Amino acid sequence: MIYVSGALSMWGDRMWHFAISVFLIELYGRNLLLTAIFGLVVAGSVLLLGALIGDWVDRNPRNKVAHASLLVQNISVTVCSIVLMLVFLYKQWIESIWDGWLTVVCYTVVIVLADVANLASTALTIAIQRDWIVVITGYNRGHLAGMNATMRRIDQVTNILAPLAVGQVMTLASNVIGCGFILGWNLVSLIVEFIFLSRVYRIVPALSVKPPAPEDGQASLERPAERTEGLVERRGSQGQLVELVKSRIVDLPTCFIQLYSEAYTCKDGWRAYYRQDVFLAGMGLAFLYTTVLGFDCITTGYAYTQGISGSLLSLLMGVSAITGLMGTIMFTKLRKAYGLVNTGIISSCLHLCCLLLCVCSVFAPGSPMDLRLLRPFLDANANSTLSAAGGVVEGQRQKHTYPMRGGINQPLLPDRSSIHWTNNTVLFENMPSGMEPDSYISIILLFLGVITARIGLWSFDLTVTQLLQENICESERGVVNGVQSSMNYLMDLLHFIMVISAPQPQHFGILVIISVLFITTGHTMYFLYARKAKRKPAGCLDT
């Protein structure tokens, strides 16, 4: 039942994240502005509210958290879909009201509702995948590893199939039908998930027990019955804080007192995250988000500038999903044979070794990177080699660049007005025919590194996920994972800032090198954690 409800939730999330980006592009005249605003709002809200969301998960009964998150998420998506349907159907009429300001209101409502749905999804993920399954597995590390791996496999499969399904509906029918499809899916999914989660909560009595925080130094992956002495609840300390503020600042309105309390909760959440034994492991995972070496819009845009067709790119994405599944299988095998900490070390080394192929691609034949960007003082006449018409660098190196419209200055994030959606993927219109780069060695090495690196990446991700589950006490599991989500979004924002700072294909090599440096830093943090963890005596926890 957990797997089915998780699959339904992940499928709905993947469909919605794909569709909302397309809808916002279509609404704003095939411009990326609304999509960029939506991405910024989503990342910023999780960054600011992650600790509060986790604290709310900790302070309330598990069934209440799961049901409330599920209701808010699905109702927000449903209402947002209805608003989008109305905007698509009556767009011209809406634009004529209030001198177009009603359109702005509709856009704002859509973005706010979508952001609320994402926050609720974050809360549901923390509750189910970071807390419930730990209790359901009976605090057994072996069973927990298997359940984590299965959930990740479901996520990998839905990541490929869900966007394809809703994309087919939008292409064969219309955007309005696409909104209706998502609306219907969320209503059906809401009912099924609600019933299944309620059933699981009744079957597993331990889910109704939420023990308070243990004393410092006490093992975290223990059964609730083993923790009875010397425990202090964070809830009580925060309640005392509110009373203290009320007694000292009696003139402040209640809203300001509550705001102060929430700010203190955020601060307390970040401090709780920092003092965890697995802090370095969590930070290491967050650093892996600052990368352009993944199958996102950045890498897709670069691939198009290098002559990779849409059908080939779709095939590569499918292969990457398979290697991701291989990573989940490798995780369970390595953990059983070498232990959890050593699994992370092996996964880190494998990840870094595969990424060396990406570094080699920067300097391989066919790479559009201009080394004079790194050593301008060695070539004072670099500007004289630029053509006046297109700004294309003349010389032997640059003839490897795929000559699309705009040449070497084609941005990595192309204007979606030059893209149309097909049954399979996105294709550029008016693409020059019969013109191919002289060498594909660079792009082959790049994608070979990205695809093979996903084996180590997902194995490492599962390792850190289970470390967080095992080493964080139940009363702080929500807030610490909420802060972890905030850190992930923060580092993800940095990689978009990198691309904004260096948006041209000849800059992509620099972005690859910076990404590998961030990833190396993240794995170094994990190595430091592993060294510290191995010095501690082994506990008597279930294996």
pTM passes above 0.85: no
pLDDT tier at 521 (50, 70, 90 boundaries)?
A: very high
Average pLDDT of the segment spanning 78-105: 83
For residue range 352-389, list pLDDT tens digits in order: 999 999 999 988 888 777 655 555 434 444 444 444 33
pLDDT at 308 over 60: yes
The most confident of the ranges 86-90, 125-129, 428-432 is: 125-129
188 pLDDT exceeds 60?
A: yes
Mean pLDDT of 315-333: 88
Q: b/e string for 172-199 if b means 16 or more Cβ within 10 A? A: eeebbebbbbbbebbeebbeebbebbee
Rounded to whole angstroms, the Cα distance separating 262 from 242 reads 10
Closest CA to 68 of 229, 190, 206, 180: 190
Distance CA 359, CA 514 (A): 10
Give CA–CA dist 319/455, Å, rounded: 11
**Percent of the chain, pLDDT > 70?**
74
Q: Residues 17-27: what's their mean pLDDT?
A: 80
Residue 502 is given by DSSP the state S
pLDDT above 60 (res 400): no
Amino acid at 271: R
Q: Mean of the per-residue pLDDT values for the chain?
A: 77
Residue 141 reports pLDDT greater than 90: no
What is the spatial distance between Cα 79 and Cα 187, in angstroms, rounded to a whole number? 11
| pLDDT at 528 (0 to 100) | 94
Query: Residue 399 has what pLDDT?
Result: 37
In this structure, which amino acid lies at residue 131? D
Lowest mean pLDDT among 249-253, 289-293, 305-309, 350-354: 249-253
Region of 7 please: left (phi>0), alpha (psi -120 to 50) or beta: alpha
Residue 525 has pLDDT above 70, yes or no: yes
Query: Does pLDDT of 434 surpass 50?
Result: no
70: nearest Cα among 213, 247, 226, 198: 198
Residue 408 has pLDDT above 50, yes or no: no
Q: What SS3 state is found at 213? A: strand
Mean pLDDT of 385-408: 40
**In this structure, are residues 466 and 340 in contact, taking their beta carbons and an 8 Å threshold?**
yes
- For the residues 257-272, what does the mean pLDDT come to? 75
**CA distance readout (Å), 213 to 220, 229, 233, 326:** 9, 10, 6, 37
Gap between the Cα atoms of 530 and 312, Å rounded: 40
Q: What is the pLDDT of residue 24?
A: 79
Per residue in 44-77, pLDDT tens? 888 888 888 888 888 888 899 999 999 999 999 9
More confident residue, 506 or 445: 445
Q: What is the pLDDT of residue 29?
A: 66
Asked if the model's pLDDT at residue 116 lies above 90, the reply is yes
